[in-house]
Structure 1
Amino acid sequence: MIIANISTPLLGMVDTAMVGHLSAAHYLGAVAIGSMIFTFVFWGFGFLRMATTGLTSQAYGENSTAKMQAVLMQSIWLALIIAVLLLLIQLPVRNLALHLVSSSQDVEYFAAVYFDIRIWSAPATLINYAILGWLIGREASKAALLMVLVINITNILLDALFVMGLGMDVDGVALASVIAEYSGLLMGLFLLKHYGLNKAGIRLSLSKKVLQQSRHGLHVHGNVMIRTFLLISCFALFTTQGARQGDTVLAANSVLLNFITFMAFVLDGFANATEALTGKAIGRKSPTMLKRALSLTAFWSILMAMLFSLIYLLFGSSIIRLLTGIDAVIEFAGMYLIWVIIAPMIAVWSYLLDGLFVGATRSREMRNTMLFAAFGCYLPAFYLLQPYGNHGLWAALIIFLAARGIAQSFYIGKIMRLADPN
């Protein structure tokens, strides 16, 4: 899953590099705004993956094939319903999002172009979340890797074809994403058949008994959804505030957020392993297995965070130049590089503990710690540090990441006791 997760931020970097070397900053700003909107819209429903992983891993630990298939199908049905609703309300969603961002006319126009194309990937994207969550939960990491690589390699190749080959701009980047998501869905459906999903499993997911037992699953979905929307809202506020400082600051922050995203997805790979192993340990009531899993993933997560900070310190300026050729954007991004250098060692704890919480399906605690970090720490810091401009914006984001990890740490003992057989 580490390799699979690395491919996703690499895709974002390719998107940035493609438009970052076009003639004007507003292309880069438009992709930043468009991507931010879909981060909010799609990642807001990331609970489809996380909750599915936690519930599946516990069913896998109990050796219950029936429960695993029921969890998958219920998540897919939910993904379909949400996707149809998104397509029906796409125009008001787009207009509201662009109004809230308050960017320049050029950025707003091209962001709308991006949105109008990419929204049609909604059914594939959300169903892919459910399938990936199920594969991770049943420890089919190679299958999950294959599915993610199909999506991201297809996207990268089509980015190059549409933008560099056919002379398209943000429309090419958006179209590549749509085609890639449906390619991944086809691969995902093939993998589900390979792992034994059948008509009996589909019928079981709709049975009265299983639907009655699914209340816990819906409760988990709801709490994780609140947590995820809060997380994304904090990053969306960061992006919109940067947009108010001008296209150049918006573009510079977009470049630097690629550093954060790359780091986050790699650390999330260890969190994915923690999710599956935690759920399996709790399903089998094995505290020894749970302690071993947490210790191992913590060691590698911290080591990787240290490596990221070192790489960003030594090569950050060179990476910025790879992502954009616009001199003003390069200069501004360099001014704020220090924040992405310190971010990995601050953020590592929240990503690691996310995996523990998801595997244990402790969704209420996930929600509550995010409420504390967002409303108790990020928003006060955001407003108090506004006089410091973009440095204040980055400082507020770092405070938010630290608050998440600190709040989550108070629940570690409670979660460890869930694996106690007594």
Structure 2
Amino acid sequence: MAADYSSNPRRQVAHLAWPLILSNITVPLLGLVDTAVMGHLPDPRYLGGVTLGAVLFSFLFWGFGFLRMGTTGLTAQAHGRADEQAVLRLFLQSLLLAVGIGLVLVVLHPVIIPLGLALLSGSEAVTEQADIYARVRILSAPAVLANYVLIGWFLGRGVSRVTLLLMVVNNLINIVLDLVFVLMLGMATAGVAAASVIAEYLTTALGLSLALGVWRQAGWVKIPGVLRDAVGYRRLLSVNSALFIRTLCLLFAFAFFHSQGARLGDITLAGNAVLLQFVLLASYGLDGFAHAIESLVGRAVGAADSLNYRRVIRAGFEWSLVTALTLSAGFWLFGEGLIAILTDLPAVREQARLYLAWMVVMPIVAAIAYLLDGIFIGATRTREMRNTMLLSVVVVYLPLWWVTQPLGNHGLWLSFIVFNAARGVFLGTIFIRDWRRLSQQADERSVPPFQL
């Protein structure tokens, strides 16, 4: 049972957010171990192959991140209505959808893998190792997508510590098996991939056992019509399809940034790669509070509780602002030191320092977009998220990049930063309209039907 911090919305948000922030931090730890293990093998093609293959699956699996987001919003709303049967039905339907998509990916891997590796344009030796990695790693697809659902479902129910548990278990198993398969059994690239596959399925087994515990607490209630519930599946597909398009736009934005950086030269590309670690670091904190808001807003919407909706959003804005200012100050004071830790190449260090100022600005600019994403996911307003993301890419990002090409890499970073600001501005315009409408309601505690 989740602790009740409803009397203190700041503690309510923080209580949900801190396990999510910690779980995010476990992700780069695995990447560091993979790099260290493969980096000690005698041929650099092994490290290159695992790196290239990991990039392919990061993009492939991230594209289906809507399974986590959609499940969180819908589950939180059902939980807010105290409709336990709907909570369980959503879990089963989302899980079936995830496993079905995962199996399709496994079946289509003879097409997906060669196409993806061709787009990444690695050398022949590196691509050969990446292909070995990918043909093993693709077997994890059903488990990876099932874990998205499990994490989203527990988060929707307000049990973020389970998210931390699942992430820690996944990464610890993965790290141990990396060491066993590669260093002890000499499996090289295939060993790293096999470690990931086994870790994902064991994490799924743990998550399912915890979900069954929830079902047991509900008295093993029967969930009729899970397979035949066409309305439920249509709702799931409607929410998730909009999130899918939104995610593809975001993936395109990052891919476009990488490709344009590559056109500016290898040193510029490497410097940008270092600075993108700052972006990743900022996302750990900002995403933690955004994910907490997803759950709390969803529950408020489900319960038609306008008062709590407004209170948790105010708390979310406060925490996000504090986090963004802290990150910006940290990047300003310690950014050069962090660059030195990330690379010992003098030319790359100097290149990254030239554009460090953008990293100081970025958390403050992006914080609003992250938090508003959480609000709109919790309210399952995914069409607005899709539409504003499309506007941000097509109307702001690409035209601004085109105009600022004479500025070189500064123009590229400016376009990327303003793109993130545009996401917040477009969603914020819709949010402010809804906030004003709610402020005009006579009874703040319950405004049924609660349509944001």
TM-score range, shorter chain: 0.7 to 0.9
The counterpart of 1:204, out of the listed 215, 224, 236, is 224
The counterpart of 1:66, out of the listed 72, 81, 85, is 85
Moved more, 327-336 or 264-273: 327-336
Instruction: Give CA-to-partner distance per residue, 1:375-400, whole Å, 9 cap, x none.
Output: 11112233333444433332221121
The counterpart of 1:273, out of the listed 289, 292, 298, is 292
- Per-residue deviation at 1:164? 7.3
- Per-residue deviation at 1:182? 2.2
Q: Give the secondary structure class of the aligned counterpart of 1:368.
A: helix
The counterpart of 1:50, out of the listed 51, 69, 77, is 69
8 A contact 1:255–1:333 mirrored in 2: yes
Task: Measure, in 2, the Cα distance between the counterparts of 1:94 and 1:151.
Answer: 24
Task: Measure, in 2, the Cα distance between the counterparts of 1:186 and 1:329.
Answer: 43
- Per-residue deviation at 1:86? 1.0
Task: Measure, in 2, the Cα distance between the counterparts of 1:353 and 1:312.
Answer: 24
- Per-residue deviation at 1:402? 0.8
* Long gaps (5+) in structure 2: 1-16, 439-445
Task: Measure, in 1, the Cα distance between the counterparts of 2:177 and 2:339.
Answer: 23
Q: Which residue of 1 aligns with 2:167?
A: 148
The counterpart of 1:399, out of the listed 418, 426, 431, is 418
Q: Which residue of 2 aligns with 1:123?
A: 142
Moved more, 258-267 or 389-398: 389-398
Distance 1:242 1:156, change over 3 A: farther
Task: Measure, in 2, the Cα distance between the counterparts of 1:334 and 1:109.
Answer: 35
Task: Measure, in 2, the Cα distance between the counterparts of 1:252 and 1:168.
Answer: 33
Identity between Structure 1 and Structure 2 (%): 41
The counterpart of 1:235, out of the listed 232, 244, 254, is 254
Moved more, 275-284 or 391-400: 391-400
8 A contact 1:25–1:251 mirrored in 2: no
Distance 1:338 1:37, change over 3 A: farther
Q: Which residue of 2 aligns with 1:97?
A: 116
Instruction: Give CA-to-partner distance per residue, 1:199-237, whole Å, 9 cap, x none.
Output: 9667535253x3334422221111111111111121122
Q: Give the secondary structure class of the aligned counterpart of 2:224.
A: helix
Task: Measure, in 2, the Cα distance between the counterparts of 1:389 and 1:26.
Answer: 32
Instruction: Give CA-to-partner distance per residue, 1:18-45, whole Å, 9 cap, x none.
Output: 5389489987776664444323211111
8 A contact 2:293–2:316 mirrored in 1: yes
Task: Measure, in 2, the Cα distance between the counterparts of 1:335 and 1:106.
Answer: 34
Q: Which residue of 1 aligns with 2:380?
A: 361
2:22 matched to 1:3?
Answer: no
Distance 1:159 1:205, change over 3 A: farther
Alignment root-mean-square deviation, CA: 3.1
Task: Measure, in 2, the Cα distance between the counterparts of 1:329 and 1:6.
Answer: 30
| Aligned residue-pair number | 421
**Which of 1 and 2 has higher RCO (CA within 8 Å, sep 6+)?**
1
8 A contact 1:271–1:353 mirrored in 2: yes
The counterpart of 1:257, out of the listed 276, 282, 286, is 276
Q: Which residue of 2 aligns with 1:303?
A: 322
Moved more, 326-335 or 288-297: 326-335
Task: Measure, in 2, the Cα distance between the counterparts of 1:108 and 1:202.
Answer: 49
8 A contact 1:36–1:239 mirrored in 2: no
8 A contact 2:133–2:193 mirrored in 1: yes
Q: Which amino acid aligns with 2:335?
A: G
- Per-residue deviation at 1:169? 6.7
Q: Which amino acid aligns with 2:302?
A: G
The counterpart of 1:19, out of the listed 2, 25, 35, is 35
Q: Which has the larger radius of gyration?
A: 2
Task: Measure, in 1, the Cα distance between the counterparts of 2:32 and 2:18.
Answer: 22
Task: Measure, in 2, the Cα distance between the counterparts of 1:107 and 1:385.
Answer: 35
Q: Give the secondary structure class of the aligned counterpart of 2:304.
A: coil
Task: Measure, in 1, the Cα distance between the counterparts of 2:416 and 2:171.
Answer: 28
Q: Which amino acid aligns with 2:84?
A: T
Task: Measure, in 2, the Cα distance between the counterparts of 1:318 and 1:101.
Answer: 31
- Per-residue deviation at 1:17? 7.2
- Per-residue deviation at 1:327? 4.8
Q: Which amino acid aligns with 2:448?
A: P
Q: Which amino acid aligns with 1:8?
A: N
TM, length-normalised to structure 2: 0.82
Distance 1:409 1:395, change over 3 A: same
Q: Give the secondary structure class of the aligned counterpart of 2:215.
A: coil
Q: Give the secondary structure class of the aligned counterpart of 2:422.
A: helix
8 A contact 1:55–1:137 mirrored in 2: yes
Q: Give the secondary structure class of the aligned counterpart of 1:206.
A: coil
Q: Which residue of 2 aligns with 1:189?
A: 208
- Per-residue deviation at 1:287? 1.1
